[in-house]
Amino acid sequence: MLLPQAGILTAFNCQAASILKAVTENQFESKSLAQLRDTLLPKLISGELRIADAEKFMERVA
């Protein structure tokens, strides 16, 4: 079995950690946006909520 030198392993870990962090953050944002979509879309379609109201809601959430 080949093992990389410590410097190479450290460099890889730094790169991989930043990529994994970005993936985790993107997954969280995707879930948040999907939840927001699932909440607002039925209300928009039914007419219970208007676009202007949804924009105000988005400003409060952000």
24-57, pLDDT tens digit by residue?
999 999 999 999 899 889 988 998 888 887 788 7
Nearest in space to 61 (alpha carbons), one of 41, 39, 44: 39
pLDDT at site 51: 83
Helix (H) or strand (E) holding 27: helix 6-46
Nearest in space to 33 (alpha carbons), one of 2, 4, 5, 61: 61
Residue 19: C-alpha distances to residues 4, 11, 14, 26, 59 (Å): 20, 13, 9, 11, 29
Tokens found for residue 14: 């730094």
More confident residue, 51 or 62: 51
Q: At residue 12, does pLDDT exceed 70?
A: yes
Tokens found for residue 31: 């879930």
